[in-house]
Chain A
Amino acid sequence: MNPEILIALPLLAAFLLPAARRIDASVGIWWGPLVVLANLVIAAMAWWKVQLIGPQSIALGGFAAPLGIELRADHLGLSAAVLLNLAVLLLWPRETPDKARVSTILLVLTGAGCGLAMSADLFNLYVFFELVAVATYGLAAANGKGEALIASLRYLILGALGSALALLGIALVYAKTGTLNLTELGGMSEALSGPAGIGALVLMVVGFGVKAELFPLNNWVPEVYAHTESRVSALMAGIISKLGILVLLRLIAEVFGGSPGLEFLLWVGVLGVVTGELAAYGAKDMRRVLAYSSIGQMGLVAVALALGGETGFIAALILMLNHLLVKPALFLIADAWPGSLKALAGKGRARPLGAVLFVLLALSLIGVPPLPGFWGKYLLLDAIFTNVTEGAGLLVGLILAATVVEAAYFFRIAARLFGSGEAAEESKIPGLPAVAALFVIAFLALSVQTGRVGDYLKEVVHGLQPQELRMAQSDFPDPAASVNGKGERL
């Protein structure tokens, strides 16, 4: 199965959906999920193939790089595709007035997201990024409420401006090097080490950072997460922000490694951690707490990326994976406790399972061994002490102080949950929704098998280096030569 189908199928289905709806109105309900399910199966099969034969590069339409579009079917891309499809399927929104429109949006999101994960071409990356962004603007407003519309508008303005800056950065890169292909750019680090290249990195960080919830571009996060449906928040916090960071990961790993512009990313990350955790400490309702916590965690990932090196990348990947599993579960469990934090008194006793799992997931975010979040933070500290020569103490101090604040606010909530208060009346929302349970099970599996997952992540990081990729390619017949864009053998 060709990975291109992962992009093409959902997009095609999205375009066909409005037409199909005219034929049968009920299509809006099952069309989207079915297509995503099929996409998931294809993604899983493609991922398995890459496990067997190693990372591959695919030239779309048989046109080789640099003129043609290159897709990178490697561990990172396909894992991201699988996780995206799974997340979209599980977190399909429910409170939307117009199901068909939301299905369209989600299908576009899925297809473009897969494309984003696998693109090895800057312009392609930008196009898919824009598609994902537009889809999320629509998703943020999906439930039709007034506050959600305003939040979505704010997000849109910020995102559009950011994308413009990112495009400027890409233009700078093209002007300096004459190519947009990541593999070729990887070999042109001298051309990009001048002010234009560094400036391009900064602009791209700012641009792509809007989606990745980086400071100070993340003003939209608390408002959007607070007013959309919890599943949409879960989807955005869980997987969409990771897609944004994934772009930065590819850029840094292949093109900008060691660039002085990474200092900007480091600052952005640290400030994100500190302001995010502090704002969470002061937040008054659960959704905002989780939103700010998400900002904080993304800040940590940004710091890990800025430090680079194998340790830094693995730390970033673990933190991303941990957050991906934990945050959606937290959003879904917290659905049972709407309203202000003060109203939480004693509610945990009515739903003990949900409350206990809330605490467990919070522990992973804080970084308590032997949960996965701990390994992420440990590797992050390791990368700091290894790669940073001066100011390591300040950096570590800030991050650890932010962690203490994180523990403080999560356990303030936990103490209120288990404290004394009137027992909550029976509510229709279960303490542990089924979807949250799935995320929790995946999280527990990750906690238990951290060793194996760690080894896999090492493979992922190795797969990011273009040199290794070219070596892998040389062992096998050039797929671009024997296979055309649709995957049929010539």
Chain B
Amino acid sequence: MIPSLDLLLALAFGNLGLMLLAGRNPTAGLLSMILYALQGWVLVMLMPALAEGAASGLAFQVFGWSLSWELNGLGWFFAIITVGAAFFSAWFAAGAWGVQGTRSPWAFHVTLAANVAAMLLLLASRDLLTLFIGWELVTWAGYAMMIQSGGPATRAAYKYLIYGVAGGLAVLAAVVLIQVQAGGLGFAAVAAWMPGISTGMLWALMLLLGVGFGIKMAFLPFHRWQAEAYGESPGPAAAFLGAISSRMGLFGLLILLVHFIGLARLDELLLPLIGLDARILWMWLSALTIIIPTFIALKQNDARMLLAWHGIGQGGYMLLGVLVGSELGVAGGLLHVFNYATYQAVLFLVMGAVVYRTGTAHLDRLGGLITRMPLSYVAMLFAIIGLAGLPPMNGFVSKWMVYKALLDEGLPLLFVAAVIGTLGTILSVFKLIHNVFLGQLRVEHEQIREVPFSMWGPMIALSLIVFITGYMPGLALDLVMVAQTSLGFAALDYHLGGFVTDTGNLNMLAVVSVLLLGMGIGAGIFLLGGNKSKRVHQLDNYAGGHFLTTEVRYHYSHHFYAGLLRLIGPWYITLIKRLEGGIAALTDTLAAGSDGLYRTAYTPILMLAATVLGLALVL
């Protein structure tokens, strides 16, 4: 079988069909996993052919336009992440979770396959219309995936739907505008027309595309839908959605804004009173997208909401890196997409495992699970170090690249803003792991066991990827360079361990090796010096003179950052939330008004009024 885009799409849609028919079968997960692995293999085989573009045989003619699909480097990069995330999610759901952990395994497998197929169609688009069709399919497939658990998920998914449809229509307006002005839909025609467009048209396009794709990315101020929508999805579904679904918005922005319009043209758009140009404004919006959702995550009491809010924040890093425009920055932003997908998937999968065993994800009702679920703990530990962006995990590398790019370009304030986001992340993820896995174990959880291999397998595998790509970032950077060159940027100069630049080096091989060696020395000092340590029970603890019993909860989990939140609590504004409510109320009022209009009894008067007014208008 020759690897080709057609084969890839056939596998994806074949998977969808198979799941529709056989999704209830217990082996559906395994079949799904195999098909995703095959899709991954096809993608890897396609890598050499990407320079000219891997074209598909699918083509349609409609209304005088022809639609066709072709995969290039950027789409390939996102496709690898998509298929990888789907593989691990399907693996998680293939065993016990698929049977007992979810209301409808059929719904899960079908929606996962639908999402992957839709995303592949989007990523392989060759003209504006295929881009838009793929975009709408991705939006609706995402909605299907979010509603599967019912209850509060339905409300969250409905909110997503409103935002998603509005965003999609903004993109549609931009697409039609470009098509009418450029005279064609193919990317070649668009590329030829773009350099000559006027500033007014540039503003219009930037706003429409920014709003349209920004809504999907949960970019400030359109971020309010994502947390509940992803948080209420069941474990592996949330893992998949969090890993890659929002990044489709980034893909759209990269193709249309960064590649076709180009970052240089954004510098021309000056805001009237402030004197900043559009690019700096976007970068500040990205920085705010990093900070504000991260601090909202700090306040959350449900672990899945916490993770979902972090997902919103991390998207800001990716766009910030790309907007800097230097090779280091763009590579950093793209690498962050990959890194983020790896560790966010782990985190949501671990929470899925915790919910599976304990039935709750509420941070005040868990604790001490490290003794019962050690593998889940290790996976979460690796992932939160990655999310926080600390060495030795991969998150540190991509964040370092973004920071360095910001400093090199002379943007220290944005650098400070990005680091503040990281600091907030460290606080928030520590609260997560502390409240769930550390501290005292509750009585009701004393008998739970670790999850089966089908569930800890993907978590540990992904954690290992997080570590290995942190140790040797060159491996992941190979993938990133494929995307970066296809976007039109120069390739970054890197080696297996990191970078050598004029203004500071990073060699993760050295850093991580020294860290591991240091830990070895520390282990030597600690374990060999001094006597053997004696393990004590968790109730054998300092309690100021009291005896501890299991009736008294002795775990500090509620209101974890009490001091900090007492200070910054009042700083949280609900402006956007109230704006949302205002728009909903306005729609209700207008609807009632229209309804009233149609219920009037004296209809012929309306008719005469319309006639008179109409004649007055046109004569």
Contacts and interface: CB of A to CB of B under 8 A. Distances in A.
B405 interface: no
A408 B163 CA distance: 10
Given A400-B169, A420-B151, A282 B60 contact: no
B604 A161 contact: yes
A216 interface: yes
Contacts of B600: 219
Nearest to B154: A415
* Top 7 closest pairs, chain A to chain B, by CB: A282-B591, A279-B594, A278-B594, A385-B180, A219-B603, A381-B176, A400-B169
Interface stretch (A45-53, A136-144, A196-204, A431-439): A196-204
Contacts of B63: 314, 375, 379, 451, 454
Nearest to A157: B604
Given A206-B611, A278-B590, A222 B598 contact: yes
Contacts of A260: 618
Contacts of B176: 378, 381-382, 385
A220 B601 CA distance: 10
Contacts of B133: 369-370
Contact of B587 (A281, A375, A403): A281
Nearest to A283: B595
B617 A415 contact: no
B204 A393 contact: yes
A275 B607 contact: no
Interface string A355-385: 0000000010010111000110111011001
A37 interface: no
B172 interface: yes
Question: What interface size band does chain A fall in?
Answer: 35 or more
Interface string A393-414: 1001000100111011001100
Interface in B255-312: none
Given A279-B598, A281-B591, A375 B62 contact: yes
Interface in B500-523: none
Contacts of B452: none
A31 interface: no
Contacts of A210: 607
A195 interface: yes
Interface in B166-204: 166, 169-170, 172-173, 176-177, 179-181, 204
Contacts of B165: 366, 403-404, 407-408
A206 B607 contact: yes
Interface stretch (A87-95, A240-248, A261-269): A261-269
B2 interface: no
B10 interface: no
B614 interface: yes
A369 B137 contact: yes
Most chain B beta-carbon contacts within 10 A, residue among A202, A205, A221: A202
Interface in A411-435: 411-412, 415, 418-420
A280 B63 CA distance: 31
7 contacts: A157-B603, A198-B618, A280-B591, A292-B594, A407-B161, A418-B147, A420-B151
A193 to B, nearest CB: 12
Interface string B596-617: 0111100110110111001101
Given A157-B604, A217-B603, 19 more contacts: A158-B603, A198-B619, A202-B615, A205-B614, A206-B614, A216-B610, A217-B606, A274-B594, A278-B593, A282-B588, A368-B136, A369-B133, A377-B172, A381-B176, A393-B204, A400-B173, A404-B169, A408-B161, A420-B150
Contacts of A219: 598-600, 603, 606
The bracket for how many chain B residues form the interface is 35 or more
Contact of A220 (B169, B603, B610): B603
Nearest to B161: A411
A385 B177 contact: yes
A155 B204 CA distance: 44
Q: Which among A203, A210, A400 has the greatest number of chain B C-beta atoms within 10 A?
A: A400
Contact of B614 (A157, A162, A264, A385): A264
A165 interface: yes
A370 B137 CA distance: 9
A281 B62 CA distance: 33
B161 A386 contact: no
B531 interface: no
A188 to B, nearest CB: 19
A158 B600 CA distance: 13
B132 interface: yes
A206 to B, nearest CB: 5
A52 to B, nearest CB: 24
Interface of A: 154, 157-158, 161-162, 165, 195, 198-199, 202-203, 205-206, 210, 216-222, 260-261, 263-264, 267-268, 274-276, 278-283, 292, 314, 363, 366, 368-370, 374-375, 377-379, 381-382, 385-386, 393, 396, 400, 403-405, 407-408, 411-412, 415, 418-420, 450-451, 454
B592 interface: yes
Contacts of B604: 157-158, 161
Nearest to A221: B598
A370 B129 CA distance: 11
A202 B612 CA distance: 9
A368 B162 CA distance: 14
B158 interface: yes
B614 A202 contact: yes
B293 to A, nearest CB: 24
Contacts of B533: none
B618 A202 contact: yes
A263 B618 contact: yes
Interface in B345-378: none
Given A206-B614, A386-B180, A404-B165, A451 B61 contact: yes
Contact of A368 (B60, B140, B158, B609): B140
A280 B598 CA distance: 11
A161 B172 contact: no
Nearest to B600: A219
Nearest to B157: A415
A202 B614 CA distance: 7
Given A279-B595, A404-B162, A382 B204 contact: no
Contacts of B606: 216-217, 219
Contacts of A454: 62-63
A283 B596 CA distance: 10
Nearest to B163: A404
A282 B607 contact: no
A235 B324 CA distance: 59
Nearest to A382: B176
A396 B595 contact: no
A318 to B, nearest CB: 9
Contacts of A195: 619
A203 B615 CA distance: 8
Given A157-B604, A264-B617, A415-B154, A292 B173 contact: no
A204 to B, nearest CB: 11
B169 A267 contact: no
A403 B161 CA distance: 12
Contacts of B615: 199, 202
Contacts of A363: 140
A165 B594 contact: no
Nearest to A276: B594
Contacts of B587: 278, 281, 405, 408
Given A282-B594, A420-B150, A451 B172 contact: no
Nearest to A449: B62
Nearest to B130: A369
A155 to B, nearest CB: 9
Contacts of A411: 158, 161
Contacts of A381: 172-173, 176
Given A282-B591, A378-B176, A261 B598 contact: no
Given A261-B618, A419-B150, A292 B598 contact: yes
Nearest to B151: A420
Contact of B610 (A217, A368, A407, A408): A217
B172 A400 contact: yes
